[in-house]
Amino acid sequence: MEMVCKFKTISIIFLCFFLLFFSANTATGTIYTEDFNDGNIDAPFEINTTNYTISNGELHIIGGEPYNNTDLCEIGVYHFNGDYIYRVESSLLVLGPNPTDLTGISLQWYEDSNDNHGWKAHLKFDHTNGVFWAHYWNGTDAFDVNLESFNYNEWYDLSITFNTDSITYGINGSETELFKGSYQEPTSIYYSYGEIHSAIFPADGVDVYADNLSVYIKQVIPEPASMFLFSFGLLGIAGISRKKK
């Protein structure tokens, strides 16, 4: 009898660890990277303009050109499969100043097709103030924080990460966690995307070079995963109690 109880206990513990391991690993998801080394923009990455060139493994977004009658040149991954992009990173170089242009990276997800329920984060070159500009919008409120200064004609490694309850902005390996307690992870997803964007006003766009664009995707892990672990624990205790009787 005692051996049976021990076996059940060990089995339940093993199962709980397995579920924890499975949940942790399914949350890590997939990484897509575009290094432009083959001279092409490969799926699943997309770009909404033909005003670019690729040479020596670098993407050159050409400034001062109209971008298919849109206000923004965008290159990135647009994901609709229920999981979501929680991190974007890229190396960027901006050739010169332009006060009307906001160039940088963006990370966004939405729970519906109207873009009303979701989160948007930007890390951009603020040409007016000469600093990197961190921004987020939650569908209702928007907040901005000025970070460190930058120089033109220099490469910068930029990243944005959605954490459990905050957003991390990275510049050349130095990360700043902001908006802690404000951000909330999604419980469902309609679509998400991570991208480089430039040229808010098409005729005024600055020249931008980009390399090593990556997006990180993970599944939306609902709260019931934790409930499964708790339930299995209760079942194990109940089983052992019956054996003792």
Identify the weakest region by mean pLDDT among 47-61, 190-204, 218-232. 218-232
Segment 27-33 mean pLDDT: 80
The residue among 118 and 200 whose pLDDT is bigger is 118
Residue 234's Cα: distance from chain center in Å?
A: 37
In this structure, CATH architecture of domain 30-218 = Sandwich (2.60)
Nearest by Cα to 132 from 149, 107, 120: 149
The residue among 105 and 3 whose pLDDT is bigger is 105
17, two tokens: 């660890």
Segment 94-121 mean pLDDT: 82
Express as a percent the part of the chain with pLDDT over 70.
69
Q: Write out pLDDT tens, residues 194-223.
A: 998 875 444 456 788 999 999 999 988 665
**pTM > 0.85:** no
Is the predicted pLDDT of residue 230 greater than 50, yes or no?
A: no
Supply the mean pLDDT for the chain.
Answer: 79
Segment 144-159 mean pLDDT: 96
The SS3 assignment for 67 reads strand
Nearest by Cα to 127 from 156, 151, 107: 151
Is the predicted pLDDT of residue 62 greater than 70, yes or no?
A: yes
Give the list of residues 6+ apart from residue 227 with CB closer than 8 angstroms, or none. none
The residue among 173 and 111 whose pLDDT is bigger is 173
Q: Write out pLDDT tens, residues 63-100.
A: 655 545 555 678 999 988 778 999 999 999 998 776 66
The pLDDT assigned to 163 comes to: 95
The residue among 26 and 169 whose pLDDT is bigger is 169
162, two tokens: 């959605």
Segment 94-107 mean pLDDT: 79
Identify the weakest region by mean pLDDT among 3-17, 121-135, 140-154. 3-17
